[in-house]
Amino acid sequence: MENDAWAWCATDPGVLRLPSGRLVRGRGLRHPLDPAAPSPAYGLYLLGARPERPAWESRWVRWPDFRLPADRRDARAALTDAWRRAADERVEIACHGGRGRTGTALACLAVLDGVPPEKAVRYVRDHYHPRAVETPWQRGYVRGFTAPGS
Protein backbone atom coordinates (compact mmCIF):
# COMPACT_ATOMS: atom_id res chain seq x y z
CA MET A 1 0.00 0.00 0.00
CA GLU A 2 2.83 2.42 0.69
CA ASN A 3 3.64 2.66 -3.02
CA ASP A 4 0.12 3.72 -3.93
CA ALA A 5 -0.11 7.43 -4.69
CA TRP A 6 -3.29 7.76 -2.61
CA ALA A 7 -1.86 6.18 0.57
CA TRP A 8 -0.27 7.81 3.60
CA CYS A 9 3.40 7.07 4.18
CA ALA A 10 3.51 4.59 7.07
CA THR A 11 6.45 6.43 8.68
CA ASP A 12 4.80 9.86 8.73
CA PRO A 13 3.82 11.25 12.14
CA GLY A 14 0.43 10.07 13.36
CA VAL A 15 -0.01 7.34 10.78
CA LEU A 16 -1.31 4.06 12.20
CA ARG A 17 -0.98 0.83 10.25
CA LEU A 18 -3.88 -1.49 11.02
CA PRO A 19 -3.29 -5.26 10.86
CA SER A 20 -4.87 -5.42 7.38
CA GLY A 21 -2.35 -2.89 6.09
CA ARG A 22 -4.81 0.00 6.00
CA LEU A 23 -3.14 3.29 6.95
CA VAL A 24 -5.04 5.95 8.92
CA ARG A 25 -3.64 9.24 10.18
CA GLY A 26 -4.55 10.44 13.65
CA ARG A 27 -4.03 14.12 14.37
CA GLY A 28 -4.60 16.84 16.92
CA LEU A 29 -6.32 19.79 15.27
CA ARG A 30 -4.49 22.20 17.59
CA HIS A 31 -1.34 21.39 15.59
CA PRO A 32 -1.12 23.03 12.16
CA LEU A 33 -0.93 20.82 9.10
CA ASP A 34 2.50 20.32 7.58
CA PRO A 35 2.23 22.08 4.19
CA ALA A 36 4.52 19.44 2.66
CA ALA A 37 2.33 16.54 3.85
CA PRO A 38 -0.46 15.26 1.63
CA SER A 39 -4.00 16.27 2.49
CA PRO A 40 -6.52 13.65 3.50
CA ALA A 41 -9.14 12.57 1.00
CA TYR A 42 -11.55 12.17 3.92
CA GLY A 43 -11.54 13.39 7.50
CA LEU A 44 -13.54 12.28 10.51
CA TYR A 45 -13.60 15.00 13.17
CA LEU A 46 -14.52 14.19 16.75
CA LEU A 47 -15.37 17.43 18.52
CA GLY A 48 -17.96 18.89 20.88
CA ALA A 49 -18.87 21.59 18.34
CA ARG A 50 -19.04 21.56 14.55
CA PRO A 51 -15.60 22.40 13.10
CA GLU A 52 -14.86 24.62 10.13
CA ARG A 53 -15.27 22.67 6.91
CA PRO A 54 -11.91 21.53 5.49
CA ALA A 55 -11.03 21.49 1.79
CA TRP A 56 -11.62 17.70 1.61
CA GLU A 57 -14.67 15.55 2.23
CA SER A 58 -15.37 15.21 5.93
CA ARG A 59 -17.80 14.18 8.63
CA TRP A 60 -18.29 15.52 12.14
CA VAL A 61 -19.25 13.37 15.10
CA ARG A 62 -20.35 15.29 18.19
CA TRP A 63 -17.94 13.96 20.81
CA PRO A 64 -17.14 16.25 23.76
CA ASP A 65 -13.59 16.28 25.13
CA PHE A 66 -12.81 13.47 27.62
CA ARG A 67 -16.25 11.95 26.99
CA LEU A 68 -17.98 9.51 24.65
CA PRO A 69 -19.85 10.22 21.41
CA ALA A 70 -23.17 11.97 21.93
CA ASP A 71 -24.83 9.54 19.50
CA ARG A 72 -23.18 6.12 19.60
CA ARG A 73 -25.09 4.83 16.57
CA ASP A 74 -23.87 7.78 14.49
CA ALA A 75 -20.32 7.27 15.78
CA ARG A 76 -20.37 3.56 14.86
CA ALA A 77 -21.58 4.39 11.35
CA ALA A 78 -18.91 7.10 10.96
CA LEU A 79 -16.12 4.83 12.25
CA THR A 80 -17.21 1.95 10.02
CA ASP A 81 -17.31 4.29 7.02
CA ALA A 82 -13.83 5.65 7.84
CA TRP A 83 -12.45 2.10 8.18
CA ARG A 84 -13.93 1.10 4.80
CA ARG A 85 -12.58 4.24 3.11
CA ALA A 86 -9.09 3.63 4.53
CA ALA A 87 -8.77 0.64 2.19
CA ASP A 88 -8.21 3.01 -0.74
CA GLU A 89 -8.31 6.62 0.52
CA ARG A 90 -6.16 8.81 2.79
CA VAL A 91 -8.34 8.94 5.91
CA GLU A 92 -7.65 11.26 8.84
CA ILE A 93 -9.22 10.92 12.29
CA ALA A 94 -8.82 13.99 14.48
CA CYS A 95 -9.92 15.72 17.67
CA HIS A 96 -8.45 18.76 19.38
CA GLY A 97 -5.46 17.07 21.03
CA GLY A 98 -5.19 13.92 18.94
CA ARG A 99 -5.00 11.41 21.81
CA GLY A 100 -8.22 10.76 23.73
CA ARG A 101 -11.05 10.81 21.23
CA THR A 102 -8.75 10.17 18.28
CA GLY A 103 -7.07 7.27 20.08
CA THR A 104 -10.46 5.85 21.04
CA ALA A 105 -11.64 6.05 17.43
CA LEU A 106 -8.42 4.46 16.16
CA ALA A 107 -8.85 1.63 18.67
CA CYS A 108 -12.39 1.10 17.35
CA LEU A 109 -10.98 0.96 13.80
CA ALA A 110 -8.50 -1.64 15.04
CA VAL A 111 -11.45 -3.70 16.34
CA LEU A 112 -13.15 -3.39 12.94
CA ASP A 113 -9.86 -4.57 11.45
CA GLY A 114 -9.79 -7.72 13.57
CA VAL A 115 -7.98 -6.74 16.78
CA PRO A 116 -9.86 -8.19 19.79
CA PRO A 117 -11.59 -5.33 21.71
CA GLU A 118 -9.67 -6.11 24.90
CA LYS A 119 -6.35 -5.66 23.01
CA ALA A 120 -7.24 -2.67 20.83
CA VAL A 121 -6.20 0.07 23.28
CA ARG A 122 -2.77 -1.56 23.73
CA TYR A 123 -2.46 -1.89 19.94
CA VAL A 124 -3.10 1.84 19.44
CA ARG A 125 -0.80 2.82 22.31
CA ASP A 126 1.97 0.66 20.87
CA HIS A 127 1.56 1.83 17.27
CA TYR A 128 0.12 5.37 17.48
CA HIS A 129 0.65 7.15 20.82
CA PRO A 130 1.53 5.76 24.28
CA ARG A 131 -1.16 7.87 25.98
CA ALA A 132 -3.94 7.32 23.45
CA VAL A 133 -7.41 6.60 24.87
CA GLU A 134 -7.26 8.80 27.96
CA THR A 135 -10.20 7.97 30.22
CA PRO A 136 -11.64 4.82 31.80
CA TRP A 137 -14.94 5.33 29.96
CA GLN A 138 -13.11 5.64 26.63
CA ARG A 139 -11.33 2.35 27.36
CA GLY A 140 -14.72 0.81 28.26
CA TYR A 141 -16.20 2.11 25.01
CA VAL A 142 -13.48 0.31 23.04
CA ARG A 143 -13.93 -2.92 25.04
CA GLY A 144 -17.66 -2.80 24.20
CA PHE A 145 -17.07 -2.02 20.53
CA THR A 146 -17.42 -5.11 18.38
CA ALA A 147 -16.84 -5.81 14.73
CA PRO A 148 -20.01 -6.31 12.67
CA GLY A 149 -21.20 -9.89 12.87
CA SER A 150 -19.44 -10.53 16.20
Domains in the chain: boundaries: 15-144
Q: Name the superfamily (CATH) of residues 15-144.
A: Protein tyrosine phosphatase superfamily (3.90.190.10)
Q: Is the pLDDT of residue 117 over 60?
A: yes
The conformational region for residue 126 under phi > 0 = left, psi -120 to 50 = alpha, else beta, is: alpha
Q: Is the pLDDT of residue 3 over 50?
A: no
Structure confidence by residue, pLDDT tens digits, 18-68: 999 999 999 999 988 888 889 999 999 999 999 999 999 999 999 999 899
Q: Which of 35-44, 80-89, 130-139 has the lowest mean pLDDT?
A: 35-44
pLDDT band with cut points at 50, 70 and 90 for residue 116: very high
**Which DSSP letter does residue 114 get?**
T
Calpha distance 142→73 (Å, rounded) = 14
Q: Is the pLDDT of residue 103 over 60?
A: yes
